[in-house]
Structure 1
């Protein structure tokens, strides 16, 4: 690759909703801006939509797009894994040894979920009435559970920070309860919300 392609005025690590939105905002303000977006994925997932999948509002495939189709026009996509950072040298180190230098760096690679941190969780997710809207393949199972529950207890949990979206567990609760209300089941379904924090929204 030509040497001048190894340096960009702005380098953004992560092409999730945050990275794409940041790139789009910057290029809209200054179309001449030299921006590179680094992400290895072939598919961009709109993760906030998964709560709506779990509520039967969206279909899961509508939350997935080819990565190339969501990269803002004028932004260079570097499809690679980031291996590390060299702040003193203002470079991002890619797998394979390549380095990309920058003037400004935005780091938003997202969070990696640790399902193994809860004993037995990984083995039971997607079955036995256990689900999570934090995974593309599980959100449809959430909707299946909401639709099929006629009576009994529905337990919603919110883990401690840091989490991908603090509102997602609450949205799952509200949307599920609304479905049960509309279908005359809310009296028979007892919903409980268990949060690891002392407050719902991070403020007293």
Structure 2
């Protein structure tokens, strides 16, 4: 059986939900959102939760509760698209037809890009609120840091989901350690792929002040290549090794869901992002 939509939106995050509401207000026909997540998280609060300044449960809703009136929710993930036939297939085998397709499924962790990271997450030695299901683990990781510990955090390289916002959790944690009186005895390291902290002229001076205030050692122009939770070591692509690490606030490299590349809709980048005209956001072929 094939369901038919005028507009099918793949992804029920803030982008997909907001767009669906706008389309319904403009009466753009039958609109569907395909997303298998049962819980909607307000992602801007994730780093505040990890930094101990928010209860993430307050910013979570059942997915059904945030789907706009008049928009149909398909509670399943899209796993294949046929752009020529204008159909999508979900994990349960449902075929969905569409006149127009909007891709905003978000980015997914590319665990294989950093050796040992998935195992480090499972061991509780590494975590990041940018992997939403690990937000509680990230909060626990930062809150148990003690005097004498070494902490490593990273700014993920692009593409990323607001990668620079990891600094929120790091700065909030530093402020907490300062209040506890242990900050001078915590060795904090920040790994960033940029020449400066974020390479943003409007904000880097303020970030540099915060980094100096908290005594954070910055590893510029570097990325995390591998981690070893048993050896308590973080390895950078520069060859540098940060040893005796008590807590690794490491955000994984991310990529687009694989169905985008499999459908021939991706650009030439390694992350498999959907190709788009930068002026119109339309796919250059379809």
What TM bracket, shorter-length normalisation? 0.7 to 0.9
Flag the 1:40–1:148 CA change in 2: closer, same or farther, 3 A: closer
Helix, strand or coil: the match of 1:131? coil
1:60/1:136 contact within 8 Å kept = no
Question: Per-residue deviation at 1:153?
Answer: 2.3
CA distance in 1, matches of 2:76, 2:125: 37
Aligned to 2:247: none
Picking from 61, 66, 70, the partner of 2:66 is 70
Flag the 1:140–1:94 CA change in 2: closer, same or farther, 3 A: closer
Runs of 4+ in 1 over 4 A off after TM superposition: none
Q: Quick check: 1:108 aligned with 2:104?
A: yes
Aligned to 1:175: 172
1:12/1:106 contact within 8 Å kept = yes
1:126/1:141 contact within 8 Å kept = no
Q: Which sections of structure 2, spanning at least 5 residues, go unmatched?
A: 202-286
CA distance in 1, matches of 2:176, 2:53: 11
1:44/1:66 contact within 8 Å kept = yes
CA distance in 2, matches of 1:55, 1:181: 13
1:159-170 to 2 correspondences below 5 Å: 159-170=156-167
Picking from 186, 189, 192, the partner of 1:192 is 189
Q: Which sections of structure 1, spanning at least 5 residues, go unmatched?
A: none
Question: Per-residue deviation at 1:37?
Answer: 0.8
Q: Quick check: 1:99 aligned with 2:96?
A: yes
Flag the 1:37–1:197 CA change in 2: closer, same or farther, 3 A: same
Aligned to 2:14: 17
1:50/1:135 contact within 8 Å kept = no
1:127-142 to 2 correspondences below 5 Å: 127=123, 129-142=125-138
TM-score, normalised to structure 2, is: 0.60
1:26-65 to 2 correspondences below 5 Å: 26-27=23-24, 29-30=25-26, 33-65=29-61
Between the two proteins, the alignment pairs up a number of residues equal to: 199
Q: Which moved more, 1:49-58 or 1:190-199?
A: 190-199
Q: Which moved more, 1:7-16 or 1:66-75?
A: 7-16
